[in-house]
Amino acid sequence: MGRGKIEIKLIENTTNRQVTFCKRRNGLLKKAYELSVLCEAEVALIVFSSRRCLYEYATNSLQIFRVEIDEVRFEWAECMLDYI
């Protein structure tokens, strides 16, 4: 028997939202790794949390993106300052 479907909407409880984010982030990073290994795909993944944390994954051939990530982080932080 499969799992029941969940309604896709904002999780109001901040603790539950953070737990869900951590679990789903880890699952997404694992899927990115699996995709790169199983299919010899070049994968780059960037995730920003609501707490302004950056999480990233890149295959070895895309390590150059890690340098670019610092620039993205800086630009994103500047952009977020406009909303504060």
Domain that holds residue 67: 14-81
pTM of the complete model: 0.70
Between CA 54 and CA 75 the distance in angstroms is 12
Is residue 6, in this structure, part of any structural domain at all? no
Give the three-class secondary structure for 77: helix
Is residue 1, in this structure, part of any structural domain at all? no
Is residue 33, in this structure, part of any structural domain at all? yes
Give the model confidence (pLDDT) of 15-29 as tens digits.
999 999 999 999 999
Q: Domain holding 66: CATH number?
A: 3.40.1810.10
What is the chain's Cα-based Rg? 16
**Number of compact structural domains in the chain:** 1
Give the model confidence (pLDDT) of 17-71 as tens digits.
999 999 999 999 999 999 999 999 988 888 888 887 888 888 876 666 666 666 7
Element (H or E) spanning 30, and its range? helix 14-39
Is residue 7, in this structure, part of any structural domain at all? no
CA dihedral for 30, 36, 41, 47, sign (positive or negative): positive
Whether 43 and 56 have beta carbons less than 8 Å apart is answered as no
Is residue 8, in this structure, part of any structural domain at all? no
